[in-house]
Structure 1
């Protein structure tokens, strides 16, 4: 089982269970290869099995679990190929977005990014990896919001689930948060200058980090990876 939070009435139950299970899988509270019990999770949240089943389906769409009829639902191992493919797609989407964002970004947007950077630094000082990952995601989402294209973030969030598991495993020593903060700072500097090419290059270098770190982390945790 994993550490869960109380459900609220602010959003559908299946969405909340999906989000909490997604986080638990990404942060390795629930490890690759583990069998997820629909009954146990329903009991943990004190709900019927239906919203849990719906959450499982969404997790399967994100590539985080595999639903095997008559056998159960298993947390998938991390696919190196899917991580590399996901990085390629994410790079294409986000680099296209930041070119426009560099031209359209406002002082208000830049203030949000500056505030976010401070929160990243604070999370790193407190060694709060989970919170740092949230702030990392928020950083990229703020940039996407500049061009008012919600579908872009939805697309990226769906394809990067496998990538997020690698990100979490590398934050301890392979790709420390302070290095990622410096990369984010370079992106903000480029956005302040309203320089599309500089911003695109900084973002491309940032997103490409995972291509190097995945080789190392897959060796450290060989049993959790496939291909």
Structure 2
């Protein structure tokens, strides 16, 4: 396996080796730098991170619990293929939580986070111009984190984070469709505008439309990238 980790992010304060490896691999699995069906080599990853095999095993266990890797006879640890069923389950949970978050945001929202969300949208536009899909996905996640933080719902977003990896992997594929990134940016603008106006009905409708975007796109990507789906 040729592990695609060109530049390792700096370790976070108090972060264990296992947590760092799990975070890095999770990110690469979600943005599809590590492809569905690809085998992960314990020895290669240990060498890449300059650690023993034990923290790599711990990272694999965490990824297996998240449903992102599986242990297969004769192959070892393998990245699971994309699953429409798992994506739909994750979207259902995310919609229930995030509609409540955006409704709360319309009742009270920290102005600092509104400014941050608009800045993140500007950065997403730049990522589109650079065709930086990985950066775009990261900024997308930061946008939704800022929304939850501004609404005082950080704990609720943590619950979303535990479920949304399967949705994020399919979203990464949809960004290969022409104009898809621009659609996401426009939807983010609509969400921020509604929150700033304190219009809960419009904000909920904008968020629902945004989260349903994947339903409109999944059939096409499942056909185009059928080898990546189970």
The structure 1 residue matched to 2:4, chosen from 2, 5, 9, is 2
Distance 1:30 1:145 in 2: 30
Match of 1:124 in 2: 128
What are the equivalent positions in structure 2 for 1:1-227 lying under 5 Å apart?
1-4=3-6, 5=8, 7-8=10-11, 10=13, 11-68=15-72, 72-173=76-177, 176-226=180-230
Deviation of the 1:8 alpha carbon: 2.9
Q: Residue by residue, what CA displacement relative to the aligned partner does 1:122-163 show, whole Å, maximum 9, x if unpaired?
A: 111111111111110011111111232332222111211111
8 Å CA contact retained: 1:104, 1:147? yes
8 Å CA contact retained: 1:32, 1:76? yes
TM-score by length of 2: 0.92
Query: How many residues of Structure 1 are paired with residues of Structure 2 in the alignment?
Result: 226
8 Å CA contact retained: 1:38, 1:52? yes
Structure 2 unaligned runs (5+)?
Answer: none
Distance 1:165 1:111 in 2: 28
- Cα RMSD of the aligned pairs, angstroms, is 1.7
Deviation of the 1:117 alpha carbon: 1.0
TM-score by length of 1: 0.93
| SS of aligned partner of 1:74 | strand
8 Å CA contact retained: 1:144, 1:150? yes
Structure 1 unaligned runs (5+)?
Answer: none
Distance 1:115 1:7 in 2: 24
8 Å CA contact retained: 2:117, 2:192? yes
Distance 1:175 1:73 in 2: 35
